Structure 1
Amino acid sequence: MKQLPSPHVPVPGNGVSGELETMLYDYQKSKGSSKLVRATSGNVMLYGNLGNIRSKQSSGNDPKPGYRPNANRVTGSLVPSNQTDTDTGTVVLCRALSKRTDSEELKDLGNREFGEGRFAEALAYYDQAISMDPGKASYRSNKAAALMGLGRIFEAVCECKEAVRIDPGYCRAHNRLAGLYFRLGEAGKSIHHYRQSQREADPSDISKAQTLQRYIAKCSEARRTRDWQTMLKESQSAISFGADFALQAFSWKAEALMRLQKHDEADAVLNGAPKLDVNASTKIFGAPVNGYMLMIRAQVDMAAGRFDEAVSAAQRAMQLDRNNQEITAVLRRTKAVAFARSKGNEFFKVSNFNEACLAYGEGLGHDPQNAILLCNRAASQAKLAQWERAAEDCNAALKLRPSYAKARLRRAHCNAKMGRWAPAVQDYETLIKELPGDEEVSKALAEAKSMLQKKRWDLVKSTTLS
């Protein structure tokens, strides 16, 4: 590599070449010290207790141990706060650097960026080092660390597995992979790799993985015995214990909530779970487990009124596990409910409310606890002035989904029509908090309050006169 003049700082040229000269000079200058630049002690967001980065003697192969880089936590992922676009400048610079530096120097540059909390830049350097020397296990392990810093847990697993394949005795890669499997809820695999990592693992790591294994076993047994309260408790325990990417645990929790008729909460659980495409999920968890997770997703989508998405999820589940009778039943039911809802909507649009009621009722025959169908049937019944029936369907829908504003509004309207002003006022007051500024609700509330006051006054007069 061409040596830059020293001690004079190079005069930067234009474009990438000028930046390269400055970067190379800074890098060579830093090589005068055996220590890499340290991040500040407060810049930490990685899971230290899972063995991602250890405060042990550095072998020179991994990013500087003990670093706690700066990152922001967003929706369950670790996202760096000061990233450069790795598809533009950083990668271009790394490709140019690769022509003038060897793979070890690129790895060291990556370690330096990692220590500063710039995970995307570190990742680009590690990728360049791998392209120059793909048979080096430490490069794959370092890349996994950068991916972990970016919250790309599933990709990190693949890199660690490749590092272990290249060098089966690479303890640090085993340790890192064990921590990743822990977060994925794969307790058995986590224990195996912690044991393979030997002294790299903290003495308590295997014990923690064994505790997680017990949570997982209890969830599985609770589902077998249909003990939904226990399944809810144990799945939440697994997630809180550190298995924050355990998609099966999120699915167990969502199913338990669905069975306990808490549909809004089940929807919130799956919406807050880590996102992963079907192929990647199948690769990590296996087809049967992924089929189960898609089956639960289908049922949650159907309860939330996302009928097309529900059918799609159930069909994908069937493709993964064709012999699963439970998935077969869910697919059949999902299709039937989606068809009934569509038919009911068509009748409603042409004001054929009797047929609409029948169509929605047909769907409820397949899924009696579908809040959307209950609310839709209530709308049809209201059009037929069947206020009592409509209010009952709204009651059932709100029991399943307390935040279902449309059902609450419809119930308030029905109660108003039947002269039940007190419950109507109560519903309108709840709606005005959820829908501030809604003129229709404000007007209905004012009218309901006026009628309630009049009713009370009439009662007082009646009592006085008698």
Structure 2
Amino acid sequence: MSEAIAEKDLGNAAYKIKDFVNAHIHYDKAIELDATNITFYNNKAAAYFEEKKYAECIAQCEKAVEVGRETRADYKLIAKAMARAGNAFQKQGDETQALNWFQKSLSEHRDAELVKKVKELEKTIKEKERLAYINPEIAQEEKNKGNEYFKKGDYPSAMRHYNEAVKRDPTNAILYSNRAACLTKLMEFQRALEDCEVCIKTDPKFIKGYIRKAAALTAMKEWGKAKRAYEDALMVDSTNAEALEGLRNVIRNDDEDPEKARERVMNDPEVQEILRDPGMRMILEQMSQDPGAAREHLKNPEIYKKLMKLQSAGVIQMR
């Protein structure tokens, strides 16, 4: 046994100076003298890895695991062999097998660094799968199928096709608009609004995104927000008939009891957050004393956005 250890040490010395030929000679002699020591196989696998001989490295790791199981070796040594096999597969570009071996390694010994590596690899694999799934032509086919079901009033079936279309072409604003219309029909207004926001962010010039948003808000009787959405649509195209009619409809139907409207507005988390902001309270107080101060504050995009929110909610009036 001591002779085997001595050969292993000679192999390690050769490995350190990257003399892999002699390293293998000594590791092989160590294995001849003691074929039950998992460390000898692990060390030989490490030499193959450094030589970029990844197939040989993997085979040696598998042998190390086999020997380790038979001899009931320390689970950390078995985990080490598995992790090295995973590294070799990753170098070969086989990320699925790499993940498989890394997970096997973690089942033997939970190494913190390997846990991080697995999480990153899982993200990489998932993103590659997502990108590989993208196909605008199939997305168009799915959208068309969804449209057919939508026209028939079969909204659940339409949703299935719109969902697939979005997965196939996630940067197409039209698909989010179509799905938002379907969600509105299904009375899933919050999800419809989320799709509208993605649609608008993806293509700020696509007017349907604002109109769908306004339609969902109208269905929710959020008259102030719906009015603002139609106004945003008209900023894109001031002659759009659907937006003009929608805006007239909102103004015509906004007959909510003022007290109920105020209660609903004050329960809006976004409004509450703005009103709790000490800086905004100071600005509002200043504006109440000096109406001309508003012009200066409106130059700041963040403050402008908050003031417009308060205005659309009916909390403040601005001219």
| TM-score range relative to shorter protein | 0.3 to 0.5
- TM (norm. structure 1) is 0.28
